Amino acid sequence: MAVEPTEEGIIAFAVTQAEAAWAESRQPYLLARFSPDLLKEGVDYRTVLGERRLKDFLMGVPGRIKVVFHPSQRAKIGLVPVGQEFEFPSETSSAQVSVTGLPHSSDRFRGSQRRHIVSQFLQLLSELDEAETTKVEIPTSILTKLMRDR
């Protein structure tokens, strides 16, 4: 799909991505994926929108796309096709996972498997938008320890 570097091109891309995500899993297309996916198509939305925020821009076209927000995670914003209803599940205490009793991470994963997991995690971080990535702080000492062969 060739995306035009225009406001209409960005809207069409958002609609297409939201419809595809909805058809595949009945889940919203997360806004955090939008910029990296659009860049893969050769378009940087910032050059088209200037100072306007992507979320605000997409909220300004309610007849074409629906923007949904997570109730407690401000950065979790999704796009769903118009006419579809979706609410992010609210977090409850039953959704919290206790790590007590789990084996120490060095006992569970070894060598290349550890490196693969860390690499996949870093890949996921690269899909966050700039505002979200500035909030992520992982000390290098932690990353190097996770990458070691044990």
Q: What is the pLDDT of residues 100-120, one digit of tens each?
A: 444 444 455 566 677 777 777
Q: In what order do the strands lie in the sheet with 65-69?
A: 29-30, 77-81, 65-69
User: Residue 16 pLDDT > 90, yes or no?
Assistant: yes
Tokens for 66, please give them: 């629906």
Cβ–Cβ under 8 Å, residues 65 and 11? yes
Confidence band, pLDDT 50/70/90 cuts, at residue 149: low
In a domain, 90, yes or no: no
Q: What residues form DSSP beta bridges with 30?
A: 78
Say which range, 104-108, 120-124, 135-139, 143-147, has the weakest mean pLDDT.
Answer: 104-108
Do 45 and 76 belong together in one domain? Answer: yes
How many other β-carbons are positioned within 10 Å of the β-carbon of residue 52? Answer: 13
Of 80, 17, 10, nearest to 50 by C-alpha is 10
122 lies in the same domain as 73: no
| Residue range(s) defining the domain that contains residue 76 | 7-81
Range of weakest confidence among 61-65, 75-79, 82-86, 88-92: 88-92
Quick check: is 93 in a domain? no
Our count of domains for the chain comes to 2
| Predicted local confidence at residue 77, as pLDDT | 92
> Does residue 96 form part of some domain?
no
59 plus 108 within the same structural domain: no
Does residue 50 lie in a domain region? Answer: yes
